[in-house]
Structure 1
């Protein structure tokens, strides 16, 4: 399957602005395990005025030689003989970078992309200092060279921006590439139904590297078996590799992630399930949040200072690995992955509130954010949910956003039903009942009902006032 990238226009525009600007020489792009970031970069560049290098884990001399050869191949034909010779004869990073600065002047501008830059900086601890000195000289000469450093290791790319880094303060653009949303993810398997897309989102999430491996001629389960559950599958060790690369204590962090994957959403529950000392948990949770592996959540009707938080796994792929693969590693090595989906995952994926039903709620909230202008054109709060202290899911509100502010504010509320039965007015009555209990009779401006199986004909044809009915087909319709 060819590499595909479905990028966000804001990030592409930011790169284009950096490329076109007369000032600025360094940009960083970081995105965990994100296949496609180089494609995003290359889309923003102009043919003949750019060069790309994919770094590898090699010795310093080999790394330099590979970069040197890529620059010679990409640029020699566009340059005068003298500048091309300077690049070809460069013996070290400094001389090569200065030659690239001269090439930029000759071409009127030049952008050089180094993908997986941490591979280079780890093998040569002097490289960042050399870059800093060379960029200073290039800047003083007014040479229009743009250097773009990108990498999948979040922690190592963030280190480039810290005070201790020689490159601190030199970067003019810093992009973080986040996972694709549910609509972008669906484009990697266009032949799947919306229901299959929800299942795929539940176990694969939105990382393009994973999505790019999918084959939509197969079922979601067959893909998960061959890619993740199969001990020889390309994603079977992905979680272990990720934690080992990003974290100093991967086993401890894995214990926290495993506890949350089992439905322990409060700090006390996580402490009990993981065995972490209470005083240490905030440190681990904070680092996992920085890596976008864990998210914290407040009830939509809570004040910013409210201390009652819940935690969840922000990466569906990581969650599915801890939920389905980790508990069965021994059996998978002995019996293989064939039919594992049918035996272990299919029976619960549609009933476990942290699996497809929870993903359906996340998708519904994202849809609401995209379509908020259909319901309200003024100021509104973030689209979240309203939770109660007891944690009873039946008594909570799946989709909620405060509309307006002060005494004149009202609410948009939604209920999500991931069941095989078509919904009627009972779902709306449940939502209204929960609103009465949790919101102290505050005014509700708009009700939304989301249903996997759709709605009964009478209810669909005559929905109550201020009520919007949304089925799977509408959720996956492009806005």
Structure 2
């Protein structure tokens, strides 16, 4: 339980959502029990800087935004900004980061005060001993017991570096009192940010820009006026060379992958966006050695641009998906037409790309939102227990040995220890189809296949997820307890 000598500030109206994150930061910043170290991480454009600046403004704290610069320049900038903050002359005697960190922490000698160093990895890149200097400074504070209440917050967007800086091998390991990760807004929060009430339209917009807060501003705060305006909105925002969104996917990959083989990274993302989901499939699509593909995919995963999860029916098979919708949109629907955008209008290019967007972007995105709904919003009673995982599942069909696998886009398992949990539900997700009894029959066939393989399906609920609804026959099956139906209104508003 923390104690505070400073009243916790209310979250400013200018900060959208982020209630839990604000509460955690405010509690840390106002804690008066002594000097503390916090770490804030998250991918680019998620609002870390905005949130941290709001915190220091609300509490009269100090904010320093690091840049890629030589150590001497960074120290000079920090000294000048600290002098401006304290109303004193810039220091002329700093010998290095040891003195600078001591000066920063001295701000907490009289009160609890948040001290933010943003984009911390940029400083460490030029000054590798910096984490050790921070460790030594905190040790000196604790050894002298002078009642210092500095609340130092280190923030960064380069996720692999942030993980390394606070890993077991780092001098900073074990020092932190707060570890906060800012993630993209979920799909319901994103609909509120964009002020979109129509769930079908909200889904399409989310399939393009996801839940990254900055993209609302990058789009000039333009919102489709309705479903019929979606295509025109794409043309005047993401495909408009005069908006920051036009090249954002390129910049995002450039900044996140830190000068690695970007051509291979682009091609790997294009392979995933086209439907390749395993390491072997991607390597084959790239025509690259498996080791090169594996290195590239590992880099993308470390930076949070790809996510891997076990297949729901074959745990040894890892399936990859793109985590940032804008990257999936770019590499599936726009990448093949980039050169055409220079000669043709956005409307013509989008007319050609729209069918690809529907099949390769919007439909898989709908399935992911269905899985997110299960984990974040669904009442556990819907499936008989608290879900532990919701994932894609596939199996070879013994009835058609040479045919394609049978799939379920939303496979829900319950809690278990080190093995797959009980099978609570198998479901199909169809964004643009009115679902009927034949979809239910497909699920029943899949349950038969699973049962033959030894899976206990006694209490497994078939489920149909649709973006456009269900036939009366399927509604009758629901009334008889034979299937769970989840429409798009329920995804956005119900449990």
Q: 1:47 to 1:278 in 2, by over 3 A?
A: closer
Does residue 188 (structure 1) correspond to residue 201 (structure 2)? The answer is no
Does residue 330 (structure 1) correspond to residue 328 (structure 2)? The answer is no
Does residue 102 (structure 1) correspond to residue 109 (structure 2)? The answer is no
- Picking from 353, 356, 363, the partner of 1:345 is 353
Shift of 1:216: 1.0
Superposed CA offset, 1:11-67 (max 9, x none): 445434433262553222121113322344456679445222333445655544544
Does residue 450 (structure 1) correspond to residue 465 (structure 2)? The answer is yes
- Picking from 412, 425, 446, the partner of 1:401 is 412
- Picking from 29, 36, 39, the partner of 2:40 is 29
Shift of 1:317: 1.6
- Structure 2 unaligned regions, length at least 5: 1-12
In structure 1, what is the equivalent of residue 203 of structure 2?
198
SS of residue in 2 equivalent to 1:279: helix
Q: 1:359 to 1:407 in 2, by over 3 A?
A: closer
SS of residue in 2 equivalent to 1:323: helix
Task: Give the TM-score, by structure 1 length.
Answer: 0.82
Q: 1:301 to 1:46 in 2, by over 3 A?
A: same
Q: Give the 5 Å matches for 1:85-96.
A: 85=88, 89=91, 92=94, 94-95=98-99
In the alignment, the residues of structure 1 paired with residue 268 and residue 420 of structure 2 have an alpha-carbon distance, to the nearest angstrom, of 41
Does residue 239 (structure 1) correspond to residue 249 (structure 2)? The answer is yes
Shift of 1:168: 5.0
Shift of 1:362: 0.9
Shift of 1:330: 1.6
The question of whether the paired residues in 2 share the 8 Å contact of 1:230 and 1:336 is answered with: no
In structure 1, what is the equivalent of residue 289 of structure 2?
277
- Picking from 11, 14, 18, the partner of 2:28 is 18
In the alignment, the residues of structure 1 paired with residue 121 and residue 319 of structure 2 have an alpha-carbon distance, to the nearest angstrom, of 34
Shift of 1:244: 3.3
Shift of 1:8: 6.2
SS of residue in 2 equivalent to 1:431: helix
In the alignment, the residues of structure 1 paired with residue 353 and residue 275 of structure 2 have an alpha-carbon distance, to the nearest angstrom, of 16
Task: Give the TM-score, by structure 2 length.
Answer: 0.80
In structure 1, what is the equivalent of residue 389 of structure 2?
382
Does residue 301 (structure 1) correspond to residue 313 (structure 2)? The answer is yes
Shift of 1:477: 0.9
Shift of 1:169: 4.8
Shift of 1:476: 0.9
In structure 1, what is the equivalent of residue 491 of structure 2?
475
SS of residue in 1 equivalent to 2:44: coil
Q: 1:65 to 1:344 in 2, by over 3 A?
A: farther
In structure 1, what is the equivalent of residue 184 of structure 2?
179
Q: 1:119 to 1:416 in 2, by over 3 A?
A: same
In the alignment, the residues of structure 2 paired with residue 186 and residue 431 of structure 1 have an alpha-carbon distance, to the nearest angstrom, of 31
Q: 1:236 to 1:290 in 2, by over 3 A?
A: same
The question of whether the paired residues in 2 share the 8 Å contact of 1:182 and 1:363 is answered with: yes
- Picking from 417, 437, 461, the partner of 2:430 is 417
Shift of 1:277: 0.8
Shift of 1:196: 1.6
Q: 1:260 to 1:100 in 2, by over 3 A?
A: closer
Shift of 1:157: 2.6
Shift of 1:404: 6.5
Shift of 1:274: 0.8
- Picking from 46, 50, 53, the partner of 2:61 is 50
The question of whether the paired residues in 1 share the 8 Å contact of 2:366 and 2:429 is answered with: yes
- Picking from 117, 120, 128, the partner of 2:120 is 117
The question of whether the paired residues in 2 share the 8 Å contact of 1:188 and 1:212 is answered with: no
Q: 1:223 to 1:117 in 2, by over 3 A?
A: farther
Q: 1:95 to 1:295 in 2, by over 3 A?
A: closer
SS of residue in 1 equivalent to 2:338: helix
Does residue 257 (structure 1) correspond to residue 273 (structure 2)? The answer is no
Shift of 1:95: 4.7
Q: 1:43 to 1:35 in 2, by over 3 A?
A: same
In structure 1, what is the equivalent of residue 3 of structure 2?
none
In the alignment, the residues of structure 1 paired with residue 57 and residue 210 of structure 2 have an alpha-carbon distance, to the nearest angstrom, of 32
The question of whether the paired residues in 2 share the 8 Å contact of 1:403 and 1:412 is answered with: no
